Structure 1
């Protein structure tokens, strides 16, 4: 079950790992659920406020009850942590619940073997760490052993230095393990005062914050390795066919199930002034002549480096004024297709809605390859005998 599912990128990663069937998804945004349904056709998908959907209805529609669900995943929105209280009861639904409490209520009702919660890194230090402690206490009161780590998506094949907090939970006494690294990354991490909370594999010597063993792994996937098979388009242009064969394993994997038709590869039509600004773009806003801009954050009007993973993709990655999203070689912002590639969506993943809605869905998503890496850990947890908890 995928709660606060958005497009369903997280659960698509679980599905791609093999061994999982996505049975339910719920999100408050109608267009996101349309996308979820298009890619999880067998799931019971619900649009609406999770606080107003009865667990008994979900149980009836899916045919699943207590103990029948293996895994519940999801990312409660940040505002869901503003009023965490001791978990009150097993009441089917309660409109007073915070959004996090709704996640906990699903867990309490269906009693999955495993729970996975992903969120922003800031949750680790929110309210001085008291919030994450309350979350752990809530799940413990429900009979689950939990641990959390900060992970970097570039360590799992995603061409993006996207950091997330991942919390894993297992029924009391079960086996708990975090995903195995597939790629080494030289990217710095946000960090945490407790280094044991950093589940990060880096190139030896790249950062003092890195932890984990240093065995030989392939380098992290770069921006060019992710997108340079796509046709060249300039400001305001569209390409609807692939012109080149895949140049990297990553590109081959993203195109494996797609036809000759290419979707979402349309560039924003930039104004003459914006094109002049873009022509000066570099690592940060300081590369832009002062007379061309009036203000902006350091990452505004800046160009991605082609030889390393992208910075975190946001919901405005087609607009250079908002974040670091200018193509490494061309004078334009990324296209929606390039953003989807950097988020590790396969080219045949179906997005619903207009262009602006699709861009936001892409930027908000959990990268499917990160979901796939976590799913493999969950598979091992489901099949492993009861052993000591991860410390």
Structure 2
């Protein structure tokens, strides 16, 4: 069954957690004891209704403040598709959590309060969705029940967002009016908005075409682990395990191993169920080659005439996730696909104001939750693509070696 990952985003109190709770509840994807628990909690707090946001807001601080702080993942399925939902925070100080949740998403749902219209945080999250190259964006205009199901309010917000989205790299945009609290247009069609003729949110997610979003042209197979059984029945077995990050490989294909540049052919492919004739993104497989080559973790298998850049100078957009600012001259560890390196921050070219899209070229450092264009010099070459071409080989994380904390997420613009 097909799998869709999607993230919710938007400003505080726009109803992201309630929307997910409603989707889980109306699709019969929660257990009776879970429902009893949130009904009891809602009653104990004096709520007039069952607060479905409690299905995702599990931390004590989240329940006390009525906000989402950490990314909450929920899993459910319908007869048509499996889903992984990332409920991301709306507060500006938790922007880094939103980036984490959306980085692997196939689609993003940005919620807007129909009473307030587009907020600064709505625009901020829409920009970050665009920056992360999430292929599909849904604008869910929530709380339509509080504006008397007004078509004029819906059209006004839709027109304003479409105008803003024209400045971003958004390839697929849908706009759906909903009421997460009452369930209108979430799973079942609303009788209160007869003027809306589009799909419900769940139906849209069930029918969203994502197969063409995968890069099936550029073969990229970063080696994660070398398998040597050391068994009498497998004296000479040497398999290379990892996840396909792009393209299609078949038994007998001629390939190239980087960074050594040695050519060889695919002898066999194994997936979880046994021998396979073909491997494609995002399958996890073990590949055996016809020649015994010196290959280890961090190397990459690709096509002879279609190779990633082998580069040590990296231009990238970086979202900074640490309370300690990033500045030129700083030394950090880099985790890129299965390859580890160290890097020097050579230059901060500009800090990008994600609200106005203004480039502050006078910036001398990147603070927590800020985004900027940075040039890095790595100790060993990275086998990289531009992020817009491949979201896996074009992304990396930055790590503070003194604390082993992830301090930044990067999207490669150019590898030189």
TM range (shorter): under 0.3
Who wins on radius of gyration, i.e. which is larger? 2
TM-score scaled by structure 1?
0.27
- Hey, which of these two has a bigger chunk of helix by percent? 1
- TM-score (normalizing by structure 2): 0.26
More strand by share: 2
Larger RCO: Structure 1 or Structure 2 (Cα < 8 Å, ≥ 6 residues apart)? 1
